[in-house]
Structure 1
């Protein structure tokens, strides 16, 4: 192609057709510029397509994380609510030495640590995407960032508080003569008396309730409910695209 253009220029010069040569040269420059612009446009289109595909993959990863989280939350909520029912019986003095063995969980209510760990693989990718500026302003991405920014620190903090209370309670249990039997799952009369009638244990259960059911459980439920709403928005976006 370049050889063809060169031959035309040489012919026009030999024929002293300077005006035609100038016009031809201008036309050639315009053709080159058009070619460059088309190449840039194609490149921009390819980059835009790659970015859109990457963002779509990110949303799919976030959706997978949320699906796993909602399943884990459902299972954990069931466990915590069962324990809450037994805790209420302890607080209201409905569990006695006589019926203690009907409620085997009552001896471990304040030493149960049930953390809820949010899956963040998709969110981590999302943050890097936003920080690098490869995504345009998008209400869904903004809402996802706000969603995770709100729940992650609060749930992590709740996990830490529960863990501390559980460890403190274990340290207290070590002081009792029945601790080794308790750790091995054995029952003694002194142990039954403590868990069924001791006011100290009743207070521990009440204090644990404040964190486990008054805070931790509510946070998990709220996360699950909001995660479902976010999932619906992501599914709609993926279908629309």
Structure 2
């Protein structure tokens, strides 16, 4: 009887030991999974921080280029007003050569989007802030598209409307500094040329509006990114 009890006690101890071993193994697995989750979470967060930092640099560059081109466009349209006003008064002086060089040109812009392209390849969900995801998609897929189209409209007008006129009626043309018609007064007394200045100005107004919208979007995006980088 005593021997039987001893054997039963050993079985109980063995079962308790085995259960304890299983429990420790399960705990070890859970800890390993948790550590792995922490590591993956840390990697995801590090990637998010790095990609947002790169996108912020891209946006900073976009902002600088757009602001510079916007300034040129604003000067061009203000100068157009000055040209039309002076011509209307019948004043045909050499300052018009310089003014025309500021007007008969087009703005250029190409976005720096390397950060967003990397983000798209990894998945937009790498950005934890859903609103920021939407804002980034809106900027790169909508705002920049409309801006590019508006700038392209001005370039197309320059190529199709102005280039033929310049080649046929100007004998000195440096699009940065000076545009000189063969006969200044005759050039401006041609009604079609006045219409061309006004049409080009209207076209440029569209690109000015789109550049201003883009700058506002960039400012808002960079503020959101700054909050995520804290």
Equivalent residue in structure 2 for 1:203, among 155, 179, 195: 195
CA distance in 2, matches of 1:79, 1:39: 60
In the alignment, the residues of structure 1 paired with residue 129 and residue 226 of structure 2 have an alpha-carbon distance, to the nearest angstrom, of: 19
Deviation track 1:10-66 (CA, whole Å, cap 9, x = no partner) reads: xxxx99922322221121111111111111110110010010111111111111112
SS of structure 1 residue aligned to 2:94? helix
Structure 1 spans left out of the alignment, 5+ residues:
1-13
| Aligned counterpart for 2:157 among listed residues 143, 165, 171 | 165
Q: Which residue of 2 aligns with 1:221?
A: 212
Q: CA RMSD in A?
A: 2.8
User: Aligned residue for 1:3?
Assistant: none
TM-score, L = length of structure 1: 0.79
What residue number does 2:28 align with? Answer: 35
Cα shift at 1:175: 5.9
Select 2:76's aligned residue among 68, 74, 83.
83
Once the two structures are overlaid, the 10-residue window that deviates more, 138-147 or 201-210, is: 138-147
Q: Is the 2:100–2:179 Cα contact (8 Å) retained in structure 1?
A: no
Aligned pair in 2 of structure 1 residues 179, 220: CA closer, same or farther (>3 Å)? same
Aligned length: 222
Structure 1 residues 78-87 or 102-111, which shifts more?
Answer: 102-111
Describe how 1:16-27 pairs up with structure 2 within 5 A.
Answer: 17-27=10-20
- Pick closer, same or farther for the CA change 1:195–1:88 going to 2, 3 Å: farther
Equivalent residue for 1:62, pick from 55, 74, 77: 55
Contact persistence 1:51–1:135 (CA under 8 A): no
Runs of 4+ more than 6 Å apart: none
**Partner SS for 2:18:** helix
Provide structure 2 residue ranges, at least 5 long, that are not aligned to the other structure: 1-6
Q: Write out aligned runs for 1:88-99 (5 A).
A: 88-92=81-85, 94=87, 98-99=91-92
Q: How does 1:135-150 map to 2 (within 5 A)?
A: 135-136=127-128, 138-150=130-142
Contact 2:66–2:215 (Cα < 8 Å) also in 1:
yes
2:148 to 141, 152, 156: 156
